[in-house]
């Protein structure tokens, strides 16, 4: 594809090219895109144009080839569509353009330009699409594009994310329902208060308090499944190049790792010190991750479940007088709610969806998308402007 026809007409007939072969015309390279961040914003990328910005984002996934291929495919499609069909740089796309692109995914036209059988990327027969995308694939594509825009905004390359304005679709269009079995922030604070209030006037009470504090930190900061807590030892905490990670064997015996932040590291050290262990584990430490009260053996799924249920019942009782509705929801929480809570609160804290997916160890990014609840708050706040009396 010679890109000069693109700049003169958005309906140029030349076929699209993969990113490796793409050369952007000067007027469409994004240096002057309408959505570029202003001169008072310090950009954290060395990228001078849209193609370089996309490549910087893709470089974040160099250690995950499957994710990299999927993200490259969707960012490539969007960039090519912006150039060929809209005659715009990617950094000039608006919310209206995003709506048009989502519609385009249902039937990429003209078909001879955009669709074709699978072929090597450098082949003249290569096309971005095999055919129209099904609803699940369209949703995944838009989630990935949203992640791209969010990254470029956070990096100071773009002024805003045009997909952040997307409204929530009706239930019959949105597929799986968002995750609802998680603790709100107020409920979570009530739970922490209940842990702090556990009696410590006996050795058994102090043991129970130490274990409950560590378990709550583990479930919240690492987001494990309960079987992973019961099935791992302290040696699953490993240090690599000065940083601590939790190496976990999850569903399907798949190995992954999750960053261990300072709060988690402190909780681990305090728990180990309580039992007379070194603050941090050695690579061959076979101590169970979650121990019985005496610190002699590990405990199983059922005991972990019982500890969690005791804590949520205590917390609900304390919350009852202030907010009976939240107390009732808290009373129903179980261990798996803590995993949902961890991922949801990470999303609320602004952790990018690409890192959420890796922390949660989801095979599909659209599964991670079910934890993004921030739009609910914006939607609700918007409705506050719809008043009965002015």
**pLDDT of the residue at 365:** 56
* 151 against 344, higher pLDDT: 151
Average pLDDT across the chain, whole number: 83
Q: Mean pLDDT throughout 29-36?
A: 93
Q: Mean pLDDT throughout 383-390?
A: 44
Contact 245, 237 (CB under 8 A): yes
| Stated pTM of the model | 0.52
CATH class of 185-381: mainly alpha
Q: Mean pLDDT throughout 375-383?
A: 47
Contact 369, 163 (CB under 8 A): no
**pLDDT of the residue at 362:** 63
Crossing angle, helix 324-331 and helix 301-319, to 10 degrees?
170
Read off the tokens for 243: 């940083």
- Residue spans of the domains in the chain: they are 4-166, 185-381
**pLDDT of the residue at 61:** 83
Contact 340, 181 (CB under 8 A): yes
* 364 against 270, higher pLDDT: 270
Query: What's the rounded Cα separation, in Å, for the pair 50 and 60?
Result: 16
Confidence class for position 367, pLDDT limits 50, 70, 90 = low
**pLDDT of the residue at 14:** 65
Q: Mean pLDDT throughout 72-99?
A: 95
Q: Mean pLDDT throughout 61-77?
A: 86
* 309 against 369, higher pLDDT: 309
pLDDT for 278 beyond 60: yes
**pLDDT of the residue at 230:** 87
């Amino acid at each position: 594809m010679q890109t000069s026809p693109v700049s003169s007409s958005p309906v140029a007939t030349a076929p699209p090219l993969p990113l490796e072969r793409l050369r952007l015309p000067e007027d469409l390279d994004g240096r002057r895109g309408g959505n570029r961040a202003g001169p008072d914003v310090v950009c954290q990328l060395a990228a001078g144009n849209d193609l370089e910005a996309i490549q910087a984002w893709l470089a974040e996934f160099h250690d995950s080839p499957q994710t990299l291929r999927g993200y490259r495919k969707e960012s490539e499609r969007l960039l090519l569509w912006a150039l060929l069909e809209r005659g715009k740089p990617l950094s000039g796309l608006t919310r209206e353009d995003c709506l048009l692109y989502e519609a385009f995914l249902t039937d990429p036209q003209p078909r001879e330009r955009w669709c074709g059988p699978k072929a090597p990327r450098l082949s003249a027969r290569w096309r971005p699409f095999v055919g129209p995308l099904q609803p699940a694939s369209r949703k995944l594509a838009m989630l990935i594009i949203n992640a791209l825009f969010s990254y470029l905004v956070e990096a100071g390359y773009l002024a805003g994310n045009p997909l952040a304005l997307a409204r929530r679709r009706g239930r019959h269009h949105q597929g799986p329902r968002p995750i609802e079995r998680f603790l709100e922030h107020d409920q979570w604070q009530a739970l922490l208060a209940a842990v702090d209030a556990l009696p410590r006037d006996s050795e058994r009470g102090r043991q129970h308090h130490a274990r409950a504090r560590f378990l709550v930190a583990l479930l919240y900061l690492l987001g494990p499944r309960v079987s992973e807590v019961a099935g791992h030892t302290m040696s699953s905490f490993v240090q690599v190049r000065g940083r601590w990670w939790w190496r976990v064997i999850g569903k399907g015996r798949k190995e992954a790792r999750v960053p261990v932040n300072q709060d988690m590291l402190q909780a681990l050290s305090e728990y180990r010190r309580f039992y007379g262990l070194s603050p941090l584990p050695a690579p061959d430490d076979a101590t169970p991750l979650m121990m019985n009260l005496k610190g002699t053996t590990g405990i199983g799924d059922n005991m972990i479940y019982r500890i969690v249920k005791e804590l949520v019942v205590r917390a609900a009782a304390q919350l009852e007088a202030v907010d009976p509705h939240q107390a009732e929801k808290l009373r129903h929480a179980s261990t798996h709610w803590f995993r949902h809570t961890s991922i949801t609160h990470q999303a609320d804290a602004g952790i990018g969806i690409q890192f959420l997916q890796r922390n949660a160890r989801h095979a599909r990014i659209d599964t991670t998308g079910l934890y993004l609840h921030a739009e609910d708050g914006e939607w609700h706040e918007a409705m506050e402007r719809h008043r009965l009396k002015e």
